[in-house]
Structure formats: structure tokens, C-alpha cells
């Protein structure tokens, strides 16, 4: 009985020691110069920095400053994180999470199961974010959530999430309410196309300058280039050109530096191709039955009569997943989960390493429970004119979703080095 009573005391004693340690460390750091303090703090992980920021308002301010971020960059101490936005019914507004990049190789699955460091961690959510049809871009450690639909009505609101402080604010609204618009960044400016109800040359596109915090209209010189286009299905930036594909698979592009619009190739091949992303001179997306597809990016500039030549990324087929897992001694259930990805991708994007990042939902056999999984896949071009082969760099469960979470959606995912 005496041993049982002493345990809580020991725990409290340890907590007091931890508090005293943080307090003494805080006082010690306060005696250092600003530059030396930055140098010391920059060596901490972002997660440790978040804990330290709770000890002092001055440290809290310093650890979310651009000076701190710049110092981490110069010292090579930045870490890659994924910012993930989920729609989780019945909650009315989307919820945001942060995920530390990385994970075990397929050979280290036992370690992965015991690790919670790679699980999604909640960050502040804006209570009035539109629940659907918003667009988003990332610029200078800030995520912009643009437009969307609130109670069936498009909005012109623009929200920003500061990824250094995880704080939200509103900025100047767009001139036009938009839903399912295309949003991209070129030369430090945000270009938004389509998504408006009334189509004409004066409202279809606009550009935001973060330096002046102003929106300006982009006038279309030729309405025939994007005739009757309202809903945007896909968009991507390649070599400073903004490519946009509408709901009729019509492709056109804008060159901001020259102010020139052009019509591109028509993607009329049968099948549903979502989440376009460009890596180098190759364009990737995911298609029917969870296949990852690729094509040459320069095909987008070709004449309208041709079609994009989409090809499947090799090495990620159903048999390849299973055989690779078996060769590496992976348990059968994981091979089954990897197999499941081929039919249930929820979101595909690229990261700062030039790799593909995918999220998908997995139904755990015999339990009725769902998990959200994430994987990073590197791509290798075999030769000029040859195919592309994918290799799974890491994969892991990142969140439990519960038994009734079939309607959970990954709305956005973006990679940031902070």
C-alpha cells in the first residue's frame, strides 16, 4: 500500500522538476544576446519549440518570427510537415492538422505501429471556414483558403493560416464570389480563375498581391479561349505558366509575365483524373481505381486535336504491392492495406522533395474501424522516353477515424519546410 501511495508523489516530483528545468532554462536563455538565442533555439525541433514557447511570451513571439525561421533555414534545421485539412461530419467546419514528415521504411512496420509521433495533431481551426468548394495556395509560410460555399452560396472571403504561429485571420475579399475556382502562385502573386456564376471578361479571373494586399481584375482578351467555363476541375503551374482544365476537359493557360492567354490540349481521354501536380517536366494525377498516372508536361501546349498521353506509374500495381511486402517480410495485413490504396485514394499532392504524397482510408479487417493512412512515393524516370517507376519511401497510419467515418474527406494537404 505504501508503494502505491508514493507513486503519485514521484510523478508530481518529476513534474515539478520538469517545470523547474524549463523555468531555469528560460532564465538562462534570457541572459543571452538575441542572435545567440536564435542560434540555440533554432536547433530544437518544431515540436520542442512549441513546448518552450509556453514558458514565456517573449519566446512565444520569437519562435513564430520570420527571423527564427530564416535562422533555421541557414542552419539546415528545418523540418518538413504536412498540413492537412479534413472534412469530418457531423462537424460543420473543416478541421486542420499537422503531420511531421517521415516514417519507417516498409521493413520497420513494427516500429510504426508503436509510434504516435507521426499521427495527425490538431491545430487551431477557423470556425467560419467554408465547408466545401474552397481553393487554397501556399505562399511564404501562409496557407490561403479562397472562396468556397457557405449554406449553398459562394463567398468571396479569403482566410489565411499563418503556419509559424498557427493563427488565423481574414484578409481583403476577392472582387467576385467564387466556388471551385483555380488558385495558383506565380512570382509571389496569387492568380484565381473561374468559379463564378456570371461569366464575362471582367470577372472571370483576378490576381492578389500580398505586398499591397489588393485584388486586381485580369481581363480576358478573347472569351472564346475559355467559353462558358465556370467550374474548374484541375489546375497546375509549370514553368511559370498557369494551366487550367474546366469541367468539359478543355485546357487553356495563362502566362502572367507576358499577360498572354493560350488554348492548350483537350484532355478528352475517358476516365476521371484528379489532383494534378507537376514535378519537374512531368505531370502526375490519380485516375480510376486509384492508379497514379503521368504524362509529359509539355504535352499541355500542343494543339487541341491531340490528347494527353496518360500512362500508369509502374511498380505500384496490385501484384507489385503484395509481392514487395512479402519479400520484405511484412505481415499480411499491411500488404492488404497497401492493396487497398489502389481503390481508395483520398488526396494526392507533391512535397518539397519532389515526391508524391497520398492519403487514403483503410477499413481494418474484422473490426469495422477506419484509419487514415499516408504514404510518400518517389518517382524515377527510367530513360528519356521510357516509363516512370514509383518506390514507396514510407507509409504509416496517421489517424484513427472511428467506425462511422466513411464520409471523412481530405480536403487539402500541403508540404511545408518550417
- State pLDDT tens for residues 383-418: 777 899 998 888 888 998 876 677 889 999 999 887
Residues 168 and 48 in one domain: no
The domain boundary, picked from 18, 49, 74, lies at 74
Residues in a beta bridge with 125: none
Q: Is the dihedral of CA 380, 382, 385, 387 positive or negative?
A: negative
pTM, whole model, 2 decimals? 0.80
Residues 151 and 117 in one domain: yes
Contact 95, 410 (CB under 8 A): no
Of 187, 188, 189, 220, the residue nearest 203 (C-alpha): 220
What is the grid cell recorded at 145? 483558403
Which residue matches cell numbers 524549463? 22
Residues 37 and 108 in one domain: no
> Where residue 344 sits, what CATH number does that domain have?
2.120.10.80
The domain boundary, picked from 33, 58, 74, lies at 74
Residue 72's pLDDT is what? 75
Which residue matches cell numbers 507509409? 395
Which residue matches cell numbers 528560460? 26
State the Cα–Cα distance between residues 390 and 321, nearest whole angstrom: 11
Residues 333 and 292 in one domain: yes
Residues 212 and 236 in one domain: yes
Angle at 269 between CA 263 and CA 271, to 5 degrees: 125
- Hey, what's the torsion of the CAs at 381, 384, 387, 393, to 10 degrees? 0
State the Cα–Cα distance between residues 65 and 61, nearest whole angstrom: 6
Contact 401, 372 (CB under 8 A): yes
Residues 212 and 353 in one domain: yes
Residue 288's pLDDT is what? 74
What is the grid cell recorded at 306? 491531340
Helix (H) or strand (E) holding 283: strand 282-286
What is the number of structural domains in the chain? 2
CA atoms within a 13 Å half-sphere pointing along the CA-CB vector of 313: 25
Residues 274 and 385 in one domain: yes
Residue 41's pLDDT is what? 73
Contact 229, 220 (CB under 8 A): no
Residues 183 and 244 in one domain: yes
State the Cα–Cα distance between residues 227 and 254, nearest whole angstrom: 15
- Hey, what's the torsion of the CAs at 278, 279, 280, 285, to 10 degrees? -50
Count, in order, helices (H) and strands (E) of the chain: 8, 26
List Cα–Cα distances, 321 to 106, 136, 201, 312, in angstroms: 11, 32, 49, 15
- List the 121-122 sheet strands across, edge first: 121-122, 95-100, 80-87, 409-417
The domain boundary, picked from 45, 74, 103, lies at 74
List Cα–Cα distances, 393 to 114, 191, 337, 376, 400, in angstroms: 19, 33, 16, 6, 22
Of 179, 229, 220, the residue nearest 199 (C-alpha): 229
What is the grid cell recorded at 42? 533554432
Q: What is the DSSP letter of 132?
A: B
Residues 381 and 304 in one domain: yes
State the Cα–Cα distance between residues 7 and 347, nearest whole angstrom: 46
Low-confidence ranges of the chain (pLDDT < 70): 1-34, 46-56, 59, 64, 102-117, 199, 221-231, 268-272, 303-306, 317-345, 403-404
List Cα–Cα distances, 336 to 17, 259, 321, 324, 347, in angstroms: 46, 50, 9, 12, 20
Structural domain span for residue 16? 2-74
Residues 65 and 88 in one domain: no
Q: Is the dihedral of CA 247, 252, 255, 258 positive or negative?
A: negative
Residues 129 and 43 in one domain: no
Residues 62 and 184 in one domain: no
State the Cα–Cα distance between residues 93 and 215, nearest whole angstrom: 26
Amino acid at each position: 500500500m505504501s508503494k502505491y501511495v508514493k507513486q503519485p508523489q514521484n510523478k508530481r516530483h518529476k513534474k515539478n522538476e520538469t517545470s523547474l528545468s524549463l523555468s531555469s532554462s528560460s532564465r538562462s536563455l534570457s541572459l543571452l544576446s538575441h542572435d545567440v538565442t536564435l542560434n540555440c533555439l533554432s536547433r530544437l525541433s518544431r515540436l520542442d519549440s512549441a513546448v518552450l514557447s509556453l514558458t514565456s511570451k517573449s519566446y512565444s513571439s520569437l519562435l513564430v518570427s520570420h527571423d527564427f525561421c530564416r535562422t533555421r533555414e541557414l542552419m539546415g534545421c528545418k523540418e518538413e510537415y504536412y498540413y492537412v485539412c479534413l472534412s469530418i461530419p457531423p462537424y460543420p467546419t473543416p478541421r486542420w492538422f499537422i503531420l511531421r514528415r517521415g516514417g519507417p521504411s516498409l521493413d520497420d512496420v513494427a516500429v510504426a505501429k508503436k509510434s504516435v509521433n507521426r499521427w495527425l495533431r490538431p491545430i487551431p481551426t477557423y470556425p467560419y471556414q467554408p465547408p466545401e468548394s474552397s481553393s487554397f495556395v501556399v505562399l511564404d509560410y501562409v496557407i490561403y483558403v479562397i472562396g468556397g460555399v457557405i449554406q449553398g452560396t459562394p463567398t468571396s472571403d479569403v482566410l489565411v493560416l499563418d503556419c509559424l504561429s498557427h493563427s488565423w485571420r481574414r484578409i481583403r475579399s476577392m472582387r467576385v464570389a467564387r466556388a471551385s475556382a483555380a488558385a495558383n502562385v506565380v512570382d509571389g502573386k496569387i492568380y484565381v480563375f473561374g468559379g463564378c456564376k456570371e461569366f464575362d471578361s471582367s470577372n472571370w479571373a483576378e490576381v492578389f498581391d500580398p505586398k499591397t494586399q489588393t485584388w486586381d481584375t485580369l481581363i480576358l482578351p478573347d472569351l472564346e479561349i475559355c467559353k462558358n467555363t465556370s467550374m474548374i476541375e484541375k489546375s497546375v503551374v509549370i514553368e511559370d505558366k498557369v494551366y487550367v482544365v474546366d469541367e468539359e476537359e478543355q485546357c487553356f493557360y495563362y502566362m502572367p509575365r507576358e499577360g498572354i492567354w493560350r488554348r492548350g490540349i483537350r484532355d478528352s481521354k475517358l476516365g476521371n483524373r484528379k489532383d494534378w501536380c507537376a514535378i519537374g517536366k512531368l505531370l502526375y494525377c490519380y485516375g480510376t481505381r486509384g492508379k497514379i498516372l503521368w504524362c509529359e508536361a509539355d504535352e499541355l501546349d500542343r494543339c487541341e486535336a491531340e490528347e494527353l498521353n496518360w500512362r500508369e506509374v509502374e511498380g505500384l500495381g496490385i501484384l507489385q504491392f503484395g509481392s514487395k511486402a512479402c519479400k520484405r517480410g511484412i505481415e499480411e495485413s499491411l500488404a492488404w492495406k497497401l492493396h487497398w490504396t489502389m481503390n481508395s485514394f483520398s488526396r494526392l499532392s507533391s512535397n518539397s522533395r519532389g515526391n508524391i504524397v497520398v492519403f487514403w482510408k483503410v477499413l481494418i479487417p474484422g473490426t469495422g474501424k477506419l484509419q487514415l493512412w499516408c504514404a510518400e512515393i518517389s518517382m524515377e524516370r527510367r530513360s528519356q522516353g521510357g516509363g516512370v517507376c514509383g518506390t514507396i519511401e514510407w507509409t504509416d497510419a496517421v489517424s484513427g477515424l472511428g467506425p462511422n467515418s466513411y464520409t471523412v474527406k481530405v480536403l487539402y494537404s500541403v508540404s511545408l519546410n518550417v
